[in-house]
């Protein structure tokens, strides 16, 4: 089995090489992201392995199909970068639904604590032997209300963490389940939360979930966390909310236009994205470059589950982690995984 591996980073390769040797999969690693200009690199491969910023649109799918590629293996949970409707009937798509909910939720809490307790500013000061506390006053999390948007596996881990801090939790989910969580509508969540943390997938319904209108519903001084997908937030509206002193702080591990910026070193260059540059320049904004997933445990799980997905697909003719456009419920196939999606 030959798999063309796009957007390969040094931390990806060891785990996938190990799994490849153990499972008889030949991964060919490319630093380039998959798009219409690089898709020819997949010629001769049985499948492609892609990440969050690879482009798997209709044009790429058609070229992969013409080359005989049978499967797109996402090494992530999200699939908003794949045209599943166009892939149906041509190429099968699988993903890694869970790799480490703890990694992402813990990173969200780390960003929150760093922001509200000014840890990043204190670190920079003390490196210069400046031990003044002026401007470093934060606030307690205990007793505050956090709104969790998306109560899936990651959202529920975040809920447990927040409860450990003595916080009141409100949650919104399109398909709420469980009696131990207080589910509310989004309007109520926006109005009552001191902190809002996004853990939902990016869909047509959630695109720009945080926008000028919804920001106006929020408390003055609200803190917004996003470790899910960048396009959940209208970055321009977020920036205006910060400038108006309505948003107290923002912690962003993802950004709507991140594909040309994140995972790359631009430290010696001028950043062309003015919106991102202005956000980073704000004293109450923390940006990390899609780092929340990056733990040893998560990387091992991603490699193992991706390899298992490929083996299951080619050996048994089905895969429990296939994304099925035909069913309408993409992640929960109505065929009960009794066969391939098509």
Q: Which residues are catalytic?
A: 229, 258, 290
Kindly write down the DSSP assignment for every residue of 269-324, as one continuous string: S----HHHHHHHHSTTEEE-SS-TT-SHHHHHHHHHHHHHHHHHHHHHS--TTB--
CB 56 within 8 A of CB 50: yes
Sheet hosting strand 285-287, strand order edge to edge: 168-172, 145-149, 195-198, 222-226, 247-252, 285-287
Name the pairing type of β-strands 2-5 and 26-29.
parallel
CB 285 within 8 A of CB 235: no
Q: Which contacts of 262-268 are long-range, i.e. CB under 8 A and separated by 24 or more positions? A: 262/53, 262/289, 262/290, 263/7, 263/9, 263/53, 263/289, 263/290
CB 32 within 8 A of CB 56: no
Whole-angstrom Cα Rg for the chain: 21
CB 322 within 8 A of CB 340: yes
Cα-based torsion angle of the residue sequence 294, 298, 300, 305 in order, rounded to the nearest 10 degrees: -130
DSSP code for 146: E
């Amino acid at each position: 089995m030959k798999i063309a591996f796009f957007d390969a980073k040094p931390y990806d390769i060891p785990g996938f090489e190990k799994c490849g040797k153990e499972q008889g999969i030949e991964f060919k690693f490319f630093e380039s992201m998959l798009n219409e200009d690089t898709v020819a690199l997949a010629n001769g491969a049985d499948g492609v392995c892609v990440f969050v910023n690879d482009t798997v649109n209709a044009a790429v799918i058609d070229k992969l199909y013409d080359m005989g590629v049978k499967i797109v293996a996402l090494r992530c949970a999200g699939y908003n970068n794949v045209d599943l409707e166009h892939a149906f009937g041509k190429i099968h798509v699988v993903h890694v639904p869970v790799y480490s909910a703890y990694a992402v939720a813990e990173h969200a809490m780390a960003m929150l604590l760093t922001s509200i307790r000014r840890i990043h500013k204190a670190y920079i000061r003390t490196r210069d032997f400046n031990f003044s506390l002026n401007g470093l006053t934060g606030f307690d999390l205990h007793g505050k209300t956090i709104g969790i948007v998306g109560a899936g596996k990651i959202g529920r881990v975040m809920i447990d963490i927040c409860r450990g801090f003595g916080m009141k939790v409100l949650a919104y989910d399109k398909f709420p389940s469980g009696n131990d969580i207080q589910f509310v509508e989004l309007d109520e969540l926006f109005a009552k939360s001191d902190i809002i943390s996004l853990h939902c997938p990016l869909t047509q319904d959630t695109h720009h979930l945080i926008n000028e209108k919804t920001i106006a519903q929020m408390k003055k001084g609200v803190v917004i966390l996003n470790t899910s997908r960048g396009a959940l937030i209208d970055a321009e509206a977020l920036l205006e909310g910060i400038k108006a002193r309505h948003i107290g702080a923002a912690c962003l591990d993802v950004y709507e236009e991140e594909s040309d910026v994140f995972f790359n070193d631009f430290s010696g260059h001028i950043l062309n994205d003015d919106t991102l540059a202005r956000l980073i320049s704000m004293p109450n904004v923390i940006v990390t470059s899609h780092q929340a997933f990056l733990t040893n445990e998560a990387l091992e799980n991603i490699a193992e589950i991706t390899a298992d997905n490929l083996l299951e697909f080619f050996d048994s003719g089905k895969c429990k982690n296939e994304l099925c456009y035909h069913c309408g419920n993409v992640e929960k196939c109505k065929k009960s995984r009794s066969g391939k999606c098509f």
